[in-house]
Amino acid sequence: MVSASANGHNALLVSVVLLATLCVCTATSPYAAGLSEDFYHTSCPQAASIVDAYVTKFLKKDRNFAGAFNRLQFHDCWVGGCDGSVLLNSTETNQAEREAHVNFGLRGVAEIDEIKAGLEDFCPGVVSCADILILAARDATAKVGGPTWSVALGRRDGVNSTALMADTNLPFPVLNFSGLVANFAAKGFGAREMITLSGAHTIGRSHCNGILPHLYNFTGRDDATDTDPAMNKNFSVFLKKLCPQGNRTNTIFIDSTANTFDRAYYKNVLQGKGIFITDSTLITNPVGKKVVTTFSKPRSSFFTEFAAGMVKMGNLGVLTGTEGEIRKTCQFVNE
């Protein structure tokens, strides 16, 4: 006859085994359902290396394209999900996302289409434009000194793209801290993740269009003296030379080391040298200022958290399975 203590011991062992099994079974994947790192392993095993080669080619020509590819991922995923809709052209009856006010000066679309053409030569009708965007952003970031991260693939391309959706979903460069927090919260991201992903401004450039409100219309007066008072005075003089009042089309690097992914962005923000209102506003909140200060220091977790944020962003609203399509060219839906 088994003793009561033995029964109790056996019951405890069973509970431990069940708990361990439950933990394994309920472990969450960092990727959206339908995506996997080996998605093209059989259908197009050279897909990632082809994208990587093209990204290397573009960065040799203009290293600043790293910022363009990062921006494309954000501007695609934030509007209806990561479905390549930001790449679509307008039609006679529809203004596409690229025509939105918030997408003024968007770069890299032709380059993504060039990558797509290269992939079509090897694997016609297999690799989506949505996946190309995700790969290009990752590869470009790593090639200019930033982190790398694992990429899950299997997204399909959307067929809808409207300027209104872009202007409704993407954050305008005049938002204050609470506005940014609300915008990111709507996509499932916290304040710290918002500050982390703002670090993408460590690479790239911008037209003056998004900078003018910071220099000439900070309080709504719309005159030459209506500059953010928190902006470094010498820096504001410098910016006004590059972006005269009313000039929307001049371009400016958005970071002091704009061709290198590093922590200089956060140092600049702390020094009153944020280009956009959305940069400077990060330190108007005590929590925000603490995170910015932390990320500005060597050996901070910025790179690790940025990589995690890009993976999470890449899960937004993905189309998989038989949803959407695999476009033949990225700027047009299939006939």
pLDDT at 60: 97
Q: Which fold has domain 46-204+254-314?
A: Peroxidase; domain 1 (1.10.520)
Q: What is the mean pLDDT of residues 226-238?
A: 95
**What residue numbers does the annotated binding site cover?**
76, 79, 81, 83, 85, 97, 171, 201-202, 255, 257, 262
Q: Which residues are annotated as a binding site for substrate?
A: 171
Phi and psi angles of residue 205, each rounded to the nearest 5 degrees, phi first: -145, 170
**Would you place residue 284 in the very low, low, confident or very high pLDDT band (cuts 50, 70, 90)?**
very high
Average pLDDT over the chain reads 92
Calpha distance 89→86 (Å, rounded): 8
Cα–Cα distance for residue pair 147/93, rounded to 1 Å: 41
CA distance 57 to 185: 36
Q: 96, 121, 111, 295: which is closest to 199 by C-alpha?
A: 295
As a whole number of angstroms, the distance between CA 95 and CA 88 comes to: 10
Strands (E), the chain: 205-207, 251-253
155, 159, 160, 163: CA torsion to nearest 10: 80
Q: Which residue has the higher pLDDT, 26 or 173?
A: 173
Q: How much is the pLDDT for 322?
A: 96
Domain borders along the chain are 46-204+254-314
Tell me the whole-structure pTM to 2 decimals.
0.90
Nearest to 197 by CA among 261, 286, 258: 261
What pLDDT, in 10s, does the model give residues 85-131? 999 999 999 999 999 999 999 999 999 999 999 999 999 999 999 99
* Block residue for tokens 């991201």: 189
- DSSP per residue over 66-92, as a string? HHHHHHHHHHHHTTTSSSSGGGPPPBT
- C-alpha span between 117 and 112 (Å, rounded): 9
pLDDT at 19 over 90: no
Measured distance between the N- and C-terminal CA atoms of the chain, rounded to whole angstroms:
76
pLDDT class for 17, splitting at 50, 70, 90? very low
Q: Is 195 strand, coil or helix?
A: helix
Q: Which residues contact 15 (CB under 8 A, 6 or more apart)?
A: none
Q: Would you place residue 13 in the very low, low, confident or very high pLDDT band (cuts 50, 70, 90)? A: very low
* Binding site listing for heme b: 201
Helix (H) or strand (E) holding 119: helix 109-122
Rounded to whole angstroms, how far apart are CA atoms 104 and 255? Answer: 19
Note the pLDDT of residue 27. Answer: 53
**How much is the pLDDT for 222?**
87
Instruction: Convert the pLDDT of each residue in 23-70 to its tens digit.
Output: 444 457 789 999 999 999 999 999 999 999 999 999 999 999 999 999
Q: What is the mean pLDDT of residues 202-207?
A: 94
- Identify the residue with better confidence: 151 or 1: 151
With CA atoms as reference, report the closest residue to 157 among 213, 63, 86: 86
Residue 81 CA: distances (Å) to CA of 68, 148, 201, 333: 18, 22, 21, 17
Q: Please identify which of the residues 41, 75, 101, 207 carries the catalytic annotation.
A: 75
- Rounded distance between C-alpha atoms, residue 227 and residue 274, angstroms: 13
**Is 75 noted as a catalytic residue in this protein?**
yes
Write out the two tokens for 243.
């972006």
Q: For residue range 285-305, what is the model confidence (pLDDT) as tens digits?
A: 999 999 999 999 999 999 999
The letter for the amino acid at 64 is N
Percent of the chain past pLDDT 70, that is, above it, reads: 92
Q: Report the percentage of the chain scoring pLDDT > 90.
A: 88
Binding residues for Ca(2+): 76, 79, 81, 83, 85, 97, 202, 255, 257, 262
Nearest to 101 by CA among 161, 165, 158, 159: 165
Rounded mean pLDDT, 246-270? 95
